[in-house]
Amino acid sequence: MFAYFGPRNWWPGETRFEIIVGAILTQSVAWRNVSKAIENLRAAGILTLEAMYKAPIEEIEKHIVPTLYWRMKAKKLRAFVNHIMDNYHGDLDKFLQKDKEELRRELLSLYGIGPETADSIILYAAEQPVFVVDAYTRRIFHRLGFFEESVSYDEMQQFFMKHIPPDVRYYNEYHALIVGIGNRFCSNKKPDCGNCPIQSVCRFKLRNKVENEG
């Protein structure tokens, strides 16, 4: 994967807060939509913790329409911002410096933040080693033969963290490469197996070849 894509330089974001906003907004939508919303927030001057805390929620909503479910996502952003302002006096760094497990529990207690979003924040914003898994991970590694399609989030995460040394840069790059494969080649309905850089080790590709030859 790395030989094909090279460094992915993921996650896009100029600040830790921007990375967190992106992690929340990218739920159930393509990154290009998130990018539009982030630029809208930046242009409106509310892409900082303090500015978003003061902004009316309707103001946030109108700028994140490209991400779909914008009313719900605006509430998620507001819940996160309120938590940091009310409990950490706006000190985001203090929050992100917490122990990894404690930070994860606290993130999961907030409205609208599930395991994938929490782990994205921990890896990319807090820069602590936790492996992020997503729908691409499930699809690709099921097709490679590592998992059943029904595998849980925790089971997938434990597999990677057992076999890959806990290194932030390595976890970062590995997840970004998985996203690259999933986005460009390993689609749900019409995967481009013939051009996929990992086709030589893919059981799904091999099975399709046998079926087509039969």
Domain topology for 135-212: Endonuclease Iii, domain 2 (1.10.1670)
57, 73 contact by CB (below 8 A): no
User: What share of the chain in percent tops pLDDT 90?
Assistant: 90
pLDDT tier for residue 206 given thresholds of 50, 70 and 90 = low
Residue 203's pLDDT is: 86
pLDDT at residue 211 above 50? no
Q: How far is CA 126 from CA 39, 53, 107, 122, 208, in A?
A: 22, 21, 12, 5, 42
Is residue 182 predicted with pLDDT exceeding 60?
A: yes
- Write down the mean pLDDT value for the chain: 94
210 or 46: which leads in pLDDT: 46
User: What pLDDT, in 10s, does the model give residues 16-45?
Assistant: 999 999 999 999 998 999 999 999 999 999
Superfamily of domain 2-125: Hypothetical protein; domain 2 (1.10.340.30)
- Given this model, what pLDDT does residue 70 score? 96
Average pLDDT over residues 188-199: 94
* Distance separating alpha carbons of residues 133 and 115, to the nearest angstrom: 9
Query: What is the residue extent of each domain of the chain?
Result: 2-125, 135-212
Those residues whose C-beta lies under 8 Å from the C-beta of residue 168, and which sit 6 or more positions away, are 123, 127, 128, 129
- Nearest one of 140, 125, 129, 132 to 196, comparing CA atoms: 140
Q: What is the pTM of this model?
A: 0.93
Separation of alpha carbons 132 and 120, rounded Å = 6
Condensed to tens digits (0 to 9), the pLDDT of residues 74-113 reads 999 999 999 999 999 999 999 999 999 999 999 999 999 9
pLDDT digits (tens, 9 = 90+) for 99-108: 999 999 999 9
